Amino acid sequence: MKRVDLKEFSVCQSCDDQPTRLVSALQRHYAVLQALALDEDEMPELKDETLPDEQGMAKSGVVNALEEFKVSVFGENYDQEGADALSSKTESDAAKKRKAIHENAAKESEQYDWAELADSGKLKDLTVVELK
């Protein structure tokens, strides 16, 4: 890792897509506010500071260091495709479980007339388990 030289690295740069999109959206939002406040007809061009330095990451020294790191962590015979397939299978099993829980809760919820319970003030008498 000491050989990886990332010039102009910012902590704001992130591999996770969600925070990156949020920062980008905030940059655009504030640029729009500034344009409105200054009665500008055109939006200023935005440079997305959250994008990674692809040229820097593609340098042979960085690529080699990352490959060595991957081998040291996962070993020589690591199968990325197999790991991805296993991960997607696990995700689909988890999705099936969530869907089954949701369907079960929907069936149990149909047992109650929620509008009547609310109008009569009997919602407060239900237990937490029943409300869930």
Alpha-carbon distance 8 to 23, whole Å?
A: 18
123 burial level (CB within 10 Å; 0-12, 13-18, 19+):
middle
Do 12 and 52 fall into the same domain? Answer: yes
Instruction: For residues 11 and 36, state if they share a domain.
Output: yes
Output the pTM of the full model. 0.32
Among 78, 95, 119, which residue terminates a domain? 78
Domain span at residue 54?
Answer: 1-78
**Average pLDDT score over residue span 58-87:** 81
Candidates 9, 54, 49; CA nearest to 27 is 49
Percent of the chain topping pLDDT 90: 1
Residue 106 has pLDDT above 70, yes or no: yes
Residues 58 and 97 in one domain: no
pLDDT at 58: 87
Is there a contact between 93 and 120 (Cβ–Cβ < 8 Å)?
no
Note whether 55 and 16 are same-domain residues: yes
Please indicate, yes or no, whether residues 47 and 90 belong to a single structural domain of this protein: no
Banded model confidence at residue 129, pLDDT cuts 50, 70, 90: confident
Report whether pLDDT(78) > 80. no
- Whole-angstrom distance, CA of residue 73 vs CA of residue 67: 10
Number of domains in the chain: 2
Backbone torsion region of residue 32, taken as left when φ is above 0, otherwise alpha when ψ lies between -120 and 50, otherwise beta = alpha
pLDDT digits (tens, 9 = 90+) for 13-58: 545 555 566 667 777 788 888 888 888 877 777 777 777 778 888 8
